Amino acid sequence: MSHLNDIPSTPGKFKMEKSPYVHNRLRWHFSLAKLTFWSFIFLGLIVVFFFRSPSSNPLLQDPSRRSLRTYNWGGPAWEKQVRSSARIRSRNGFSVLVTGAAGFVGTHVSAALKRRGDGVLGLDNFNDYYDPSLKRARQALLERSGVFIVEGDINDSVLLRKLFEVVAFTHVMHLAAQAGVRYAMENPSSYVHSNIAGLVSLLDVCKSANPQPAIVWASSSSVYGLNTKVPFSERDRTDQPASLYAATKKAGEEIAHTYNHIYGLSLTGLRFFTVYGPWGRPDMAYFFFTRDILKGKSIPIFEAANHGTVARDFTYVDDIVKGCLAALDTAEKSTGSGGKKKGPAQLRVYNLGNTSPVPVSDLVSILEKLLKVNAKRNIMKLPRNGDVQFTHANISLAQRELGYKPSTDLQTGLKKFVRWYVSYYSGGKKAAG
Ligand SMILES: O=C(O)[C@H]1O[C@H](OP(=O)(O)OP(=O)(O)OC[C@H]2O[C@@H](n3ccc(=O)[nH]c3=O)[C@H](O)[C@@H]2O)[C@H](O)[C@@H](O)[C@@H]1O
């Protein structure tokens, strides 16, 4: 017990001459205790800061962050699946990486490419912005036609680099995005995460790939924002976005310019105009109007000031798919290699619309006829949450350069949508909440 007596009551009173070894050991002991104590305090503060309440925790606040979870990928069996899905099966076919392949447009484009013999590999993070079971059902559909979807995020550059190591993609069809105009007010950071950071992450990997792929990607009609000159032409100003969603798509167009200019990436942006159809997005008006009319719930129909009509250039998904394929077919090769530009590369932007706007109230009338149910219409003032009063595409550039010619009117397209909706949700699936 004598050694206990050697320990002074206060460290400052420790007598040096007793034993330098004991002194050093004790000092080390105390420092360690202090360090442990302060580490606990520090960790405690971090925990309190992050988990105080859901609203103060950025990780819980932002659904897109859920897409940062780790995914299982890699290994010989996985690489075999990737290679086989991306294998070209037609003469002069492409090998295309489709991002957002479990999304609405992504599924349709992937299936169309596969049908004509191109190699297609999908990539999707299956986030829960809307019912993920619909994305899983689309995935099952694609799997049956031989398209494999890798589960991962476009922000994961390690995964992207791996995909380019396994497959020398000739093209990238970039459709992964945070969509929806109104949701941008609820969750702004998810738009920055997917539409800006995700795009940069993808382009950065593409620029270093050898060979560099040609890239076609989804911009949006929303970039026209407060533009009042109709129909919207690619030459019109796009510097007055009305929503953060539109601003991130516009930023995407500028980012595309940069990667084209510095690295020689061939880039084509497609401004989609309110795409609808079977396997569509439950957050879009035509989709939840259908659900709510069938449920007997009232539907909010927006109108502008002084009973002004709100209208959209609704575009059927098959027409959009034709535009996407034509953009891929006419895309020139990127000119860079190993991250260095070798010469000027193609940079294009096209409107893909239907070029015949329809008032939202007419859309509802068509749905009423198809569903044989009268809608409970709740006419509301157009909220100031990012919506614009009308959209109308001038498609002459796409017509001239892509041979784009939409052929489905709203009546015909909605008929196909309703047929799909009824069969999908009566087949054991419950209507998307
Ligand atoms: O064209 C585009 O770029 C955009 O098209 C759609 O956006 P939006 O046209 O606003 O489509 P919906 O949200 O389906 O709205 C369609 C129409 O219904 C109206 N609406 C919407 C919701 C509602 O409750 N009531 C209502 O009358 C809107 O004002 C709009 O005129 C997509 O949601 C965007 O992701 C896409 O980028």
User: How far, in Å, is the centroid of ligand 1 from the Cα of 259?
Assistant: 30
How many A from CA of 416 to the centre of ligand 1? 19
Length of the chain measured in residues:
433
Give pLDDT tens digits along the chain (433 positions).
333 333 333 333 333 333 444 444 445 555 666 666 666 665 655 544 444 333 333 333 444 444 456 788 999 999 999 999 999 999 999 999 999 999 999 999 999 999 999 999 999 999 999 999 999 999 999 999 999 999 999 999 999 999 999 999 999 999 999 999 999 999 999 999 999 999 999 999 999 999 999 999 999 999 999 999 999 999 999 999 999 999 999 999 999 999 999 999 999 999 999 999 999 999 999 999 999 999 999 999 999 999 999 999 999 999 999 999 999 999 999 999 878 899 999 999 999 999 999 999 999 999 999 999 999 999 999 998 889 999 999 999 999 999 999 999 999 999 999 999 999 999 766 555 4
Residue 245 bears catalytic tag: yes
How many Å apart are CA 77 and CA 381, to the nearest integer? 55
CA separation for the pair 69, 96 (Å, rounded): 25
Q: Please state, in angstroms and rounded to a whole number, the distance separating the CA atoms of residues 79 and 317.
A: 31
The candidate with the shortest Cα–Cα distance to 414, out of 316, 273, 323, is 316
Relative to the CA of 387, which ligand 1 atom is closest? 29
List the residue whose alpha carbon is closest to atom 15 of ligand 1.
Answer: 285
SS3 label, residue 286: helix
Query: From atom 6 of ligand 1, which residue's Cα is the shortest distance away?
Result: 274
Taking the centre of ligand 1 as the mean of its atom positions, its distance from the CA of residue 420, in whole angstroms, is 20
Task: Give the C-alpha separation, 71 to 68, whole Å.
Answer: 9
Closest atom, ligand 1, to C-alpha of 221: 3
**Active-site annotation holder among 183, 224, 245, 276:** 245
Counting from 1 in the atom list of ligand 1, the atom nearest the Cα of 223 is: 3
Which DSSP state fits 239? -
Confirm if 104 and 281 have CB atoms less than 8 A apart: yes
Please state, in angstroms and as integers, the Cα–Cα distance from residue 168 to each residue in 38, 76, 190, following that order. 52, 17, 30
In angstroms, the CA 250 to CA 229 distance is 18
Q: Using CA atoms, how far apart are residues 287 and 50, in angstroms rounded to an integer?
A: 37
Tally of CB atoms within 10 A around 314: 27
Distance CA 311, CA 199 (A): 30
Q: Which of 312, 388, 390 to mutate to test the pocket of ligand 1 (most atoms within 8 A of CB)?
A: 312
| CA 339/CA 118 separation, integer angstroms | 26
Q: Cα separation of 152 and 92, whole Å?
A: 29
Ligand 1 centre and the CA of 351: distance in Å? 17
Q: Ligand 1 center to residue 281 CA distance, Å?
A: 11
Question: What DSSP designation does 349 have?
Answer: E
Q: Which residues line ligand 1 (CB under 6 A)?
A: 179-181, 220-222, 272-274, 284-285, 300-302, 310, 312, 360, 387
Mutate to test the pocket of ligand 1, among 178, 274, 379, 388 (most ligand atoms within 8 A of CB): 274
166 domain residue, yes or no: yes
Distance 148 CA to ligand 1 centre (A): 31
Is residue 327 domain-resident? yes
- What sign does the CA torsion over 131, 120, 106, 171 have? positive
Sign of CA pseudo-dihedral 230, 232, 237, 240 = positive
Protein residue with least CA distance to atom 22, ligand 1? 285
Identify any residues that bridge with 316 across adjacent strands, giving them in sequence order.
276
- Can you tell me the distance from the alpha carbon of 264 to that of 337, in angstroms, rounded to the nearest whole number? 8
Cα distances from 396 to residues 53, 149, 405, in angstroms, run 52, 35, 9
Atom of ligand 1 nearest to the CA of 179: 35
H/E element holding 367?
Answer: helix 360-371
Residue nearest to atom 13 of ligand 1 (CA): 284
Amino acid at 228: T
H or E, element range at 53? none
The pLDDT assigned to 153 comes to 98
- Residue 55 domain flag: no
> Looking at ligand 1, which residue's alpha carbon is closest to its atom 18?
285
Closest residue CA from atom 36 of ligand 1: 274
Give yes or no for a contact between 304 and 382, defined as CB atoms under 8 angstroms apart.
Answer: yes
Overall domain count for the chain: 1
Q: Establish if 304 belongs to a structural domain.
A: yes
Q: Domain of 220?
A: 81-426
Distance (Å, whole) CA 53 – CA 208:
42
Do 96 and 170 contact (CB within 8 A), yes or no?
A: yes
Ligand 1 closest atom vs CA 276: 14
Residue 291: CB atoms within 10 Å? 16
What is the DSSP annotation of 150-206? EE--TT-HHHHHHHHHH---SEEEE------SGGGGT-HHHHIIIIIIHHHHHHHHH
Contact 109, 193 (CB under 8 A): no
Residue 256 belongs to a domain: yes
Which atom, in ligand 1's list, is nearest to the CA of 220? 3
Q: Check which CATH number belongs to the domain holding 220 and give it.
A: 3.40.50.720
- What is the number of alpha carbons within 13 Å of residue 413 lying toward its C-beta? 24
Q: Look at strands 358-359 and 311-312 and give their pairing.
A: antiparallel
- Flag whether 302 is in a domain: yes
48 inside domain: no
In a domain, residue 39? The reply is: no
> Which residue, by CA, sits nearest to atom 8 of ligand 1?
274
- 237: which 2 tokens? 């100003």
Signed CA dihedral, 417, 385, 197, 352: sign only: positive
Q: What pLDDT was estimated at residue 39?
A: 66
Which helix (H) or strand (E) is 121 found in, with range? strand 119-124
CA 273 to the chain's CA centroid: 16
Choose the residue to mutate in 387, 389, 395, 410 for probing ligand 1, maximizing ligand atoms within 8 Å of C-beta: 387
The residues near 305 (Cβ < 8 Å, ≥ 6 apart) are 381, 382
- The radius of gyration of the chain's CA atoms, rounded to the nearest angstrom, is 28
Distance 220 CA to ligand 1 centre (A): 12
Q: Provide the β-strand partners of residue 132.
A: none
- Residue 262 CA to ligand 1 center (angstroms) comes to 35
